[in-house]
Chain A
Amino acid sequence: MLRVEETQVPVEFSQELINKFDEIVARYPAGKQKSALLPVLHLVQAEYQWLSSAAMDKVAEYLQIKPIEVYEVASFYSMYFLRPSGKYVLEVCRTGPCALVGAEKIMDHIEQALGVKEGEVTADGLFSWRGVECLAACGFGPVLQIGPEYTFYENLTNESVNNLIEDLKKKG
Chain B
Amino acid sequence: MARKLLLEHINVPGINTFETYRSKGGYAAVEKALKSMSPDDVVEEVKKSGLRGRGGAGFPTGMKWSFLAKPEGVARYLVCNADESEPGTFKDRYLMTNIPHLLIEGMIVASFALGAKTSYIYVRGEMMPQIRILEKAIAEAKNAGFLGKNILGTGYDLELYVQPGGGAYICGEETALLESLEGKRGNPRIKPPFPAIAGLYGCPTVVNNVESIAAVVPIINEGGEEYAKIGIGRSTGTKLISAGGNVRKPGVYEIDLGLPVEEFLFSDEYCGGIANGKRLKAVVAGGSSVPILPANLFLKTINNEPRLMSYESLSDGGFVSGTMLGSGGFIAFDEDQCIVRNTWNFARFYHHESCGQCSPCREGTGWMEKVLHRLENGHGKMSDMDLLVDVSKKIEGNTICPLGDAAAWPVASAIRHFRDEFEWHVTNAAVATTRNYGLAHYADPLPKLETA
Question: Chain A: residues with CB nearer than 8 A to chain B?
Answer: 27, 29, 32, 34-39, 41-42, 63, 65, 69, 72-73, 76-80, 94-97, 99-101, 132-141, 145, 147-152
Cβ contacts A to B, 6 pairs, < 8 Å: A27-B163, A41-B166, A79-B125, A95-B349, A136-B90, A137-B93
**Neighbouring A residues of B118 by C-beta, 8 Å:** 29
Question: Which of B180-188, B220-228, B302-310, B426-434 lines the interface with chain A?
Answer: B180-188
Q: Are A138 and B185 in contact (CB under 8 A)?
A: no
Alpha-carbon distance A133/B128, docked complex (angstroms):
16
B120 nearest CB neighbor, chain A only: A27
Q: Are A150 and B89 in contact (CB under 8 A)?
A: no
**Neighbouring B residues of A73 by C-beta, 8 Å:** 166, 183-185
**Neighbouring A residues of B246 by C-beta, 8 Å:** 100-101
Taking each of B126, B245, B329, which has the highest tally of chain A beta carbons within 10 Å of its own beta carbon? B126
Tell yes or no: B29 within 8 A of A by CB: no
Tell yes or no: B345 within 8 A of A by CB: yes
Tell yes or no: B389 within 8 A of A by CB: no
The 0/1 profile, CB within 8 Å of A marked 1, for residues 75-105 of chain B is: 1000000001111111011000000000000
Q: Are B167 and A77 in contact (CB under 8 A)?
A: yes
Given known A99-B342, A134-B85, A139-B242, contact A35–B90 (CB-CB < 8 A) = no
Least CB distance, B232 to chain A, in whole angstroms? 26
Q: Are A29 and B242 in contact (CB under 8 A)?
A: no
Q: Are A139 and B345 in contact (CB under 8 A)?
A: no
Q: How many B residues face the partner with a CB closer than 8 A?
A: 56
**Neighbouring A residues of B245 by C-beta, 8 Å:** 97, 100-101, 138
Given known A139-B244, A139-B251, contact A134–B86 (CB-CB < 8 A) = yes
Q: Are B186 and A136 in contact (CB under 8 A)?
A: no
Given known A38-B166, A97-B331, contact A133–B182 (CB-CB < 8 A) = no
Question: Chain B: residues with CB nearer than 8 A to chain A?
Answer: 75, 84-90, 92-93, 118, 120, 124-129, 159, 161, 163-169, 180-186, 201, 242-246, 250-252, 288, 329, 331, 333, 337, 341-342, 345-346, 349, 352-353, 355
Least CB distance, A54 to chain B, in whole angstroms? 20
Given known A42-B125, A138-B90, contact A27–B161 (CB-CB < 8 A) = yes
Q: Are B126 and A135 in contact (CB under 8 A)?
A: yes
A96 nearest CB neighbor, chain B only: B345
A73 nearest CB neighbor, chain B only: B185
**Neighbouring B residues of A101 by C-beta, 8 Å:** 245-246
Q: Are B129 and A78 in contact (CB under 8 A)?
A: no
Least CB distance, B95 to chain A, in whole angstroms? 11
**Neighbouring A residues of B129 by C-beta, 8 Å:** 149-152
B332 nearest CB neighbor, chain A only: A100
Q: Are A77 and B128 in contact (CB under 8 A)?
A: no
Q: Are B331 and A36 in contact (CB under 8 A)?
A: no
**Neighbouring A residues of B242 by C-beta, 8 Å:** 138-139
Least CB distance, A14 to chain B, in whole angstroms? 20
Given known A133-B169, A139-B242, contact A37–B250 (CB-CB < 8 A) = no
Given known A97-B87, A97-B88, A135-B126, contact A78–B250 (CB-CB < 8 A) = no
Known contacts A96-B288, A137-B90, A140-B90; 8 further A-B pairs (Cβ under 8 A):
A35-B182, A72-B185, A77-B168, A96-B331, A96-B345, A133-B169, A138-B250, A139-B90
Given known A38-B165, A76-B185, A78-B167, contact A136–B331 (CB-CB < 8 A) = no
Closest 7 CB pairs of A and B: A77-B166, A139-B250, A79-B167, A37-B183, A34-B183, A78-B167, A150-B128
Q: Are B349 and A134 in contact (CB under 8 A)?
A: yes
Least CB distance, B201 to chain A, in whole angstroms? 6
Alpha-carbon distance A100/B92, docked complex (angstroms):
22
Given known A136-B84, A137-B93, contact A79–B166 (CB-CB < 8 A) = yes
Q: Are B331 and A138 in contact (CB under 8 A)?
A: yes
Q: Are B163 and A78 in contact (CB under 8 A)?
A: no
**Neighbouring B residues of A139 by C-beta, 8 Å:** 90, 242-244, 250-252
